Each structure stands twice: as structure tokens, then as C-alpha cells.
A and B are shown apart, each in its own frame.
Chain A
Amino acid sequence: MYNLDKVIPGIIILILFLTTPIWLNLANLKALPPKDPHIGQARMCTTCHVSEKGPDEAVTSEKCVADTQYMRGYHMKLLDEWREKKIRKGEVYYKGLDGKSYVMSLQRTCLKCHSDYLNFCDRCHKFTGVQLDCFNCHIAGKEEKK
């Protein structure tokens, strides 16, 4: 091969660039979540909801306005919808999954159950790198935010 003095460093830089996630993770291997996502953090919602493996007896009576799977993906859309309806259209009630009506309010409805900001919001959001700005204005439940 010709120009090995330039080609070899080039290949090394290319491989380092393409494997960025691998060595960035190696740098903090201790901070990584456990091997099985279900040990530790993944099933945080089962404390208040029916889990997939069966009802969690302690709190099956308390239900969210929508089911867990929907809320995992779409809670931000729901909150956005609530803000639109309440602040801009003046509506007050939202008809939930169980047919009951809920007051559309982050602090008075959502945070009544989901009061633990650090464990409920922040853990997921930090983990997935999604930045939220709800609590720039709202008070974040019992726990101090940050």
C-alpha cells in the first residue's frame, strides 16, 4: 500500500468516528442500566398501574386518564392538547379512559399521583435525553425539582 503514514491514521479516525457510541458508553460503564431492562428502572409505572403480568393489587383502583402504553408514547401530546383546550378554548374537563371526567390540570390532576418528579419524570427524561420545560413554570410536585 502507498502513503501508509496517512492511510492508517485515516482508517483509525474513521473507525473511532463510526464507533462513537461504543467507546462513549465504555467510558461510563458503571452508569449504564442493568442488563435486563426490567430489573430496576423499566417498570416504574407498575406502582400505580396494572402491570402486564397482572394487576398490582395495591393501586388498581387508581387509574390514569389513559392507559399506560398510550401515556408512555403520547403523554406530551395529551399535555399539549390539554393546554390548548384549557388555556385557549376555556374547556375544563377531559373525559378519561374510564369514562370519568378529569380536570385538565397538570398540577391538580397529573401531579396528584405522579408527584415524584425525580423518579417519575426526570429518570426517563434524563435517560432518553428528552428535555422538558413543563417545570420551568409549574411546581414539580413534592420533590424539589433538579
Chain B
Amino acid sequence: MSVRLNDFLFSILLIAVLIVIPLLGVGVLGLKYFFGVIIPYLALAVFIGGLIYRIVDWARSPQPFKITTTSGQQKSLPWIKRSRLESPANNLEVALRMFFEVFFFRSLFRNLRADLEGKRLLYGSAKWLWLGALLFHLGFLIIILRHLRFFVFPVPEFVNILEKIDGFFQIGFPTLYLSDLLILLGLAFLLLRRLFDAKINYISYASDYFPLLLIISIVVTGILMRVAIKPDIFAIKHYAISLATFRPVIPEAPISVLFYVHLFLVSSLAVYFPFSKLVHMVGIFFSPTRNLPNDNRMKRHVNPWDYPVKYTTYSEWQEKFRDVMEEAGIPIDEEWGKEIQKQA
């Protein structure tokens, strides 16, 4: 088995460049305002603008067919038991199915393993992808919510509660956040499977490795700031609030370069997000196999880009050839003939 490493190494190189840029820019050139205010605001604007652009682009695309993916009995006769989640019949059931898909990744739970054993192809259950993806996504969500404590004053109570739960076991000092640990486990799994599973490795490109490595480096710089190289958090909160209230101030108190690296990596992620595979965050809602009810037999789905086709009905055809048909003794359908006369 040979492992394709080029895309992986290229991604590492990209990450290294992204780390060196703020190291030079802030550490050597001292461009604090540029890296602390201009780039984060630009990144936020590109992030939100890019997501809206992608949403509008998808919303403008017509939906020619109803292609719901189903794996359960659709709504039929009242005495036939149906599956509401697997074959949703109305919008409410679609919303329910979407909810479980977004928060619990039901479709990944069905992921199968396919391996060759000698010459035999074997299928089996594989829940690891589902587990790794869930750890990563939920960990990321909790970490983002926890970051509200830097941007909001007074700190919302739910953030304090979340933080207490996250550090529930009080392992080490400062307390280890469980979400930090779990997101690293999830990310490590997602990365290693691309490197060591030959089938996944074969279809992995830089656009797969880069976001994983980028998020890993964001998490690692964040954990480093919490555990080892601690910045002046008071100054950072002042700075973060000044950003959130649109009166940006770079504090005079020194903030470590590590913080600017973290910030620049997050900004890079925000800019990269809408134009990469990461945009599945909004794309999932525009997935035609997921967002349509399976009601083909109850409602006719009209292709929005159908254009009027010129066609000839039988009665028109009959009128045209009436003489010839009568001559040849072919029976004339008078009902249709009458309809034509009525319309005329």
C-alpha cells in the first residue's frame, strides 16, 4: 500500500505560511492594527457575505425533480405503518429529519465498511466516522459558544454554566475543557483515516487536508494559550469587546504574538469557509435529497424551468385528417370532435 502524501504535505506548507505571516507581521513589523482590526473585520465580512452569496446562488437554482432519499415506508393507506423520519410526507417531518441530520448525523450512522478479504467484498457496520464527526462538530460548537465570554459583557449566564459543565472533572490546572479534548480526538481520527485508510487516502486532496489541519492548528494555539503561554486575558477581553461594539482599540498592554497567530488562523478559516467544502454548514439545508417531502404521489411537482411545448392533441389531429379517415373507414371519435367545436 502506498500512501499519497503530496496533498497532505502541501497543506502543511500552507498552514506554515499562514502561521509565519502573523509571526512576521506582528512579531517583527509590529502591524498590530492591521492584524488585530482590519483583517478580522474583513474576514467577518467575507464570511457572512460569502455565506449569503452561496445561499442566494443555491436558492436561485430550480429544482426540476423531487428526489428525496428515503429508506422507509412512505405515507400510503392508513393501515400501512409508515416511517415519518425515513420518508417524510410533509414539511414538518422534513424539518424533523433535518434536525436529526444536523445535530446527530443520522446518515453517517448508516455508514458502512467495505473491505476486500482475499477476493471477497465484505460489508460491515462502521460507526467510527459518525463518532469522530460528531465529536469534532459538537466540540467546535461548544468551543465557539464558550468564546462568547470574550466578546460579551456581562458574560451571559449560560456561558458560565456551559464552562462549568465543560470543565466538570477539574482535571489539571487550569481545568481541562472536555470539549478541547474531544475535538482533538475527533480531528485526529478524521485526519488519520485520510492518511492510513487506503480507500479514503485515494480520494483525499489538499481541500480535505487543509481545513482539518487549519482547525487543528487553531485548536492547538488556543489550548497553548490556555495551558502554557498565557496572554493578558484582561487586555484581550477589552480588545474583543471593542471589536464586537465596532469601536476597535488595540490595547497598550502587550498581547502575545501567539494570540495574533490564533486570530489570523481563525480569520483565514472564516475567509476560506464559504468557498470550500466547509460551506456544507448551509449546503445541508439546500440538499435536494434531504429538504423535500416524499409526496410525489400526493402533489404534482412541476419543473420550474418547463417551457411551453407546442404539441398536437388527438382531436386536433383527427380534425386535420377527418376527410381522409372517413374515406378510409377509420372510426371518428365524435366526443372529441364536439369538444373541439365547443372550444372553437
Instruction: Give the interface of A toward B (CB within 8 A).
Output: 1-4, 7, 10-11, 14-15, 18, 20-22, 24-26, 28-29, 31-33, 35-38, 42, 52, 69, 72-74, 76-77, 80, 124, 126-131
Contact = CB atoms under 8 A, between A and B. Distances in A.
Interface stretch (B123-131, B145-153, B181-189, B316-324): B145-153
A11 B51 CA distance: 9
Contact of B241 (A10, A20, A33, A126): A33
A126 B48 CA distance: 31
B60 A128 contact: no
B234 interface: yes
Given A31-B153, A36-B249, A127-B153, 4 more contacts: A11-B55, A28-B153, A72-B232, A73-B231
Interface in B215-265: 230-235, 237-238, 241-242, 244-247, 249, 251-254
A72 B234 contact: yes
Contacts of B42: none
Contact of B154 (A11, A14, A20, A28): A28
B233 A73 contact: yes
A2 B233 contact: no
B63 interface: yes
A32 B153 contact: yes
A75 B154 CA distance: 23
B90 to A, nearest CB: 14
B60 A2 contact: yes
Interface string B172-194: 01100000000000000000000
Contacts of A11: 52, 55
Contact of B63 (A2, A128, A131): A2
A21 B244 contact: yes
Contacts of B251: 37, 42
A26 B153 CA distance: 10
Given A24-B152, A25-B153, A76-B174, A37 B59 contact: no
Contact of A131 (B55, B164, B233): B164
Contacts of B155: 126, 128-129
B271 to A, nearest CB: 14
A15 B45 CA distance: 11
B237 A24 contact: no
Contacts of B47: 18
Nearest to A2: B59
Contacts of B73: none
6 pairs of A and B residues whose beta carbons are closest in the complex: A21-B151, A129-B149, A129-B155, A73-B230, A37-B238, A21-B244
Contact of B56 (A1, A25, A26, A32): A1
Given A32-B241, A127-B237, A24 B231 contact: no
14 contacts: A7-B59, A11-B55, A14-B51, A14-B55, A24-B152, A35-B249, A37-B235, A37-B252, A42-B234, A42-B235, A72-B232, A73-B232, A76-B174, A126-B154
Interface of B: 47-48, 51-52, 55-56, 59-63, 148-156, 159-160, 163-164, 173-174, 230-235, 237-238, 241-242, 244-247, 249, 251-254, 282, 285, 304
A137 to B, nearest CB: 15
A25 B245 contact: yes
B154 A31 contact: yes
A129 B160 contact: yes
A80 B148 contact: no
A142 to B, nearest CB: 23
A24 B148 contact: yes
A85 B271 CA distance: 47
Contacts of A52: 252
A37 B153 contact: no
B62 to A, nearest CB: 7
A128 B237 contact: yes
Given A33-B241, A35-B247, A129-B163, A7 B252 contact: no
Contact of B153 (A3, A33, A38, A77): A33
B196 to A, nearest CB: 36
A2 B51 CA distance: 17
